[in-house]
Each structure stands twice: as C-alpha cells, then as structure tokens.
Amino acid sequence: MIKTILISQVPLPYSKIGSWTTLYKNYLEEDHKIDYIVCPKTQITFAGINYTFANVTFFQKVRHKFFRKKNLQYFQALNKIILPNQKYIIQVVDNYGMIKPLHDYLTSIGVIKNCYIQFFYHGFSPYMQLNSGSNFYELIDELIVLTNDSYKQFKKVINVLPCHFSILHNGINTGKFKTISISDKENLKRKLGFEDKKVFIWCSQDRPKKGLHIVLEAWRKLYETQKNIVFLVIGSEREQNISGVKFLGRISNEDLPQYYQASDCYLFPTLCQEGFGLSLIEALHCGNYCIASAMGGVPEVLQHGKLGKLIENPHFVMEWVEAINSFLNDKPEISKIQEELYSIESWRNGMNIIIEEAKSRLEKNI
C-alpha cells in the first residue's frame, strides 16, 4: 500500500495563524489520506497519524548556516519511515529549498523511483531560479497551485514544465463563516456599537504589501463627505486616531466571523501578487460585498468581477475612493455564493482526489 508523508518545517498543529497550516488542520481533523507527518516536535498531535519528529537543535541550525547542510534533521526523521520496497507520496508545502536536498537524499538511498514528490504552492508568480544546477520543475512530480490563472502564469514564464499540475482552491469552514439574516445582522451591529452604519472591514497582517495605507488614505477623503460609515481594521495594532476608523488589533478565529457578519463591505487592497486570500472568501461567505485589487489570483477568486468589484490600478487612491462611493451610492447587489464554493469540504475532496491520482501514477510508474 502506498503511504503519504507530509514534511512540515513548522510543528503541526500550528499554534499561530497561518493559511496553509489552517487548511491542513481542518483537513487532518476529518477524513484524510495522510499517513505520516515529519515536523519539529510538538506537544499536541493529530489523532490517527504517525509522527516522526525532526530534531531541530541549535547545532543543526549552525550546520545549516555555516556548512550548508540543509534539512539533515528531516532526512534523519525520514530514515525512520522509509522502507526499500515501499512506495511513498511525499508532500512539501511552499519550501523550495527542501526539494533538491530531498531529491538527492531519496536518490542516495535508492528509493527515488518509489517516491512521488508533490509541491504545494500558495503563492501566484512562478519560482524562477535554478536549484543548484537542476531545473526545480524536473525534481518534482506534481505542482499544486491555487488558481487556474497561476497555472497560466507558470506556462507563460517557465520554458520547461515536465511535472504534473493540479489546481486546489483554498477552503474555509463555511459552517462558521456564513451569511446571517438581515435582522440578525442589525442586532449584531447594535451589539458591537455600529448601529445604522455602513460597516467596512479589512483583515490581514499589517505589512506594506497588504495595502492598508492606501485604503486609509482613501478613507480620509471619503469621510469628509460620508459620515454614516465605519471602518474596522483587524490585525493592526496601530495607535492612530482616524475619524471613522476602529483599530481592533488581533481577533481570535472564534470571534472573527461576527465582525464579518456585522460588516457590509470587505476591502482587500493587496499590492502583491496574492495567491488566493483566505480572508477574502471568509468575507464573501459572510455576505460582504468585496472590493479588491485585481492582482494575482484575486480576479479568479471573485470570478473576474461577478462576486465583487476589482480595482485594476490598486496603487491609485482615487480608484478606491470611487469604488467605495459607488458601493454607498449605487447599492450594488451582493451575489449569493454557493455554500460549497471555497469550502473546506471541497478542499478536502480535492486533496483526496489529488493523492489518489498520484497513487495511481506511482503504481503504474507513470
């Protein structure tokens, strides 16, 4: 029987916020096809999964830094799992630097033909550098990306792509992130102190590439004429006093849905080639109209404008001012999305199909 191994450079479950670790947490708590996890030691483990811990010591970090001995602790952990006549699917997430050493290790112990390497990529733009003289895309068997537009970008930019491709959209818990009735929304606004206001919301890490400074500048201009609005900023600890803006800092995942559900419009002003955007689909499922930068995978997520407004030039403040004013004045219809769209159930089913197809290829030595 073919076994599936997930290699993670962070302990799983992961105690901090992270998009792909959240996806795997939701996946591994239900019906899944992962047999082993190789990761740094963790006190809490997922039930029904065999763990092998990578001993990430200070000495290992020194060897990595000064002697370029990459990822030895992970291969030592793999040694405890891999058997000569067994076949394995090995999953790596977003860690390009793992692939060449992993390929060399599997070759050195004579099992590379029994292994199928899947690389899960949560960005958008392709990895461009050659990896120690070898084409990265020749060292993996399959690349899994978030959107069809990302796949198109790979085809456009990378000359040689011999690996298989799959597309797996991000997914969220649609039982938590869901639209509520108009009366429940009004009651929630009243409870949170936003009664009779149009509520806008932003939720991300406060880094320049996330574009908060752009929409704050737009907000200052808007608030000169629009007073019956409020802007909730989640994830930022700024101590600024801006009229109509409430900096709420970090909100737990348990409490987050009520802020989306109390809001009317989600602002997603990313200034980078965003892979997908979990917060964007959380807001969509909670009934928000979305105004977002037309960058990276975002247009595909919003079905190229069907599910919200795309800002073609997101670095221009006035485009945000105009889009927000249009939302306030024109009251565009908010498209109702299907519950299964971008759900964790769809993600789980997609992951299981990807693993089963990989097993079929490995069995047939395709």
CATH number of the domain where residue 233 is located: 3.40.50.2000
- Same domain membership, residue 105 and residue 196: no
Would you say residue 156 lies in a domain? yes
Tens digit of each residue's pLDDT (9 = 90 or more) over 292-309: 999 999 999 999 999 999
Q: What is the pTM of this model?
A: 0.91
- Same domain membership, residue 186 and residue 163: no
pLDDT of 150 > 50? The answer is yes
Of 188, 135, 193, 185, residue with least CA distance to 163: 135
- Same domain membership, residue 159 and residue 24: yes
- Same domain membership, residue 153 and residue 118: yes
- Same domain membership, residue 208 and residue 256: yes
- HSE-up (13 A, CA, CB side) for residue 343: 12
For residue 239, give both structure tokens.
Answer: 């101590």
Range of 154's domain?
3-171+344-364
315-341 average pLDDT score: 93
Return the pLDDT at 333: 86
Of 123, 168, 133, residue with least CA distance to 148: 168
39-64 average pLDDT score: 79
Number of domains in the chain: 2
Give the whole-angstrom CA distance, residue 134 versus residue 12: 31
Return the pLDDT at 276: 94
Of 89, 137, 87, residue with least CA distance to 111: 87
pLDDT of 129 > 70? The answer is no
Would you say residue 339 lies in a domain? no
Would you say residue 356 lies in a domain? yes
- Same domain membership, residue 146 and residue 9: yes
> CA 361, 103, 137, 151: dihedral to nearest 10 degrees?
60
pLDDT of 253 > 90? The answer is no
Return the pLDDT at 66: 41
- Same domain membership, residue 155 and residue 15: yes
- Same domain membership, residue 189 and residue 166: no
- Same domain membership, residue 138 and residue 10: yes
- Same domain membership, residue 322 and residue 349: no
Would you say residue 338 lies in a domain? no
Give the whole-angstrom CA distance, residue 99 versus residue 138: 10
Percent of the chain whose pLDDT exceeds 90? 79
Would you say residue 263 lies in a domain? yes
- Same domain membership, residue 205 and residue 78: no
Would you say residue 24 lies in a domain? yes
Return the pLDDT at 331: 86
- Same domain membership, residue 250 and residue 108: no
Would you say residue 14 lies in a domain? yes
Lowest mean pLDDT among 111-115, 209-213, 252-256: 252-256
